[in-house]
Amino acid sequence: MKRNVGLMAVVFVVVLAAWAESFPAQPAGAEPSHYRFDFGDGDVEKGYIGIKASDRYTEKQRYGFNTPEHMINVPASGTGVASDAVQFVTYGTKSDNTFQVDLPNGLYEVKVTLGNTTRASVAAEGVYQIINMTGNNAVDSFQIPITDGQLNLLVTEGKAGTNFTLSALEINKLSRHPVTNRTVYIGGDSTVCNYYPLDSSIQAGWGQLFPSFVDSGTFLVRNMASGGQIARGFRNDGQLEAILKYIKPGDYFLLEMGINDTNPKNTTTEAQFKEYMRDMVQQVKSKGATPVLVTPQGRATDFNAEGVHSSVNRWYRASTLALAQEENVPLVDLNVLSSAYFTEIGPEATLALYMKGDTLHPNRSGAEVLARLVAEDLKRQGLDGFTGERKPGADPAVPNRPQ
């Protein structure tokens, strides 16, 4: 009996060895493709690598801060990995005060958890990746191609005067090919941008809810809109730069501007607005991607005495329509589409789609309605990847289009 047991053990070892040899061996010293980091000087959460502000990058360790003398440990108000953080004392998209991680070239998903902050953005590889994460312990993620063997990331503006903090970072390799998936990039203002928490915020921009109406098997959505933004600022202050770094043939760039451009404090004439928009359209076209112009929706109270909603003379709409024709690019006239929808549902139901006491900014339900209207029109125009239908699991409280 003992001999049989011994023979069986030998056979098992031989079979196991043969099975193991069928897998490619990892080269000695190969960089890992997956990481979870817990930042700050508190307890380290199980399954995470603890990183303090003083931890300097070394080639041997393969991760750490490039200039730890410009980092400090700070508390945070969350739990687990969000109970502490590090603060970037120096910052900026071009700053070398970054957290560095050696990674094999490929496509990665990076999940970011901030510490305590009012409004902060995430930059990597010298450009913005996430715009204006708001509130303590905000969470968001992005895809990024790594082509030089290293991720360089920091937390930055945001809003000047607030702390730019980082509580946790998760990095997962998606593909060995360093190319982003087909992507819909979105530019716009406070009626378009993200609000946090992304899955439960009361206020929302239509760009935040737009992924519900996009075929996720075809597209990734990157919302680069920000509150208060104007065409000149979007072009000049880093948001367009980030899009141009990655956009490629097959991608879309949806651009809605005009609300803030018409505010006298921004000193933008309609002629200037049109040329700023033209420049962005042409730069995106030069990358082989497809720009799509979108006009802003009106206010909740834009009803006349007959109960018809209309705001067609607002926010440089005429110039946006003319530009779409001159540059031969698709146009989604959300201004008119939303007015038709609001007229259908009436003043009271329309007001319920906006923030309380605010006739300009949509709430979550309103943002999803606007996102659907945009997607429906893109589908109608024959642009691929847009369903115009709410995905399973979307907010059931959002009203459907009247039949």
Distance CA 391, CA 379 (A): 15
Distance CA 117, CA 156 (A): 11
Q: What is the DSSP string of 159-203?
A: STTS--EE-EEEEEEEESS--PPSEEEEE--TTTS--SSTTT-SB
By DSSP bridging, strand 165-166 and strand 106-113 are unpaired
How many CB atoms within 10 Å of residue 307? 10
Is residue 311 within 8 A of residue 340, CB to CB? The reply is no
Residue of 43, 148, 358, 384 with catalytic role: 358
Cα dihedral 175, 177, 179, 180, rounded to 10, equals -10
Tell me the one-letter amino acid at 90: T
Residue of 311, 361, 365, 377 with catalytic role: 361
CA angle at 34 for the pair 28 and 37, rounded to the nearest 5°: 115
DSSP 8-state secondary structure symbol assigned to residue 150: E
Residue 240: half-sphere exposure toward Cβ, Cα within 13 Å: 23
| Phi, psi values for residue 112, rounded to 5° | -115, 130
Please, what is the end-to-end C-alpha distance for the chain in angstroms? 78
* 190 part of the active site: yes
Distance CA 361, CA 236 (A): 25
Distance CA 101, CA 108 (A): 12
Coil/strand/helix, residue 127: strand
Residue of 190, 319, 338, 339 with catalytic role: 190
Q: Which residues have a catalytic role annotated?
A: 190, 358, 361
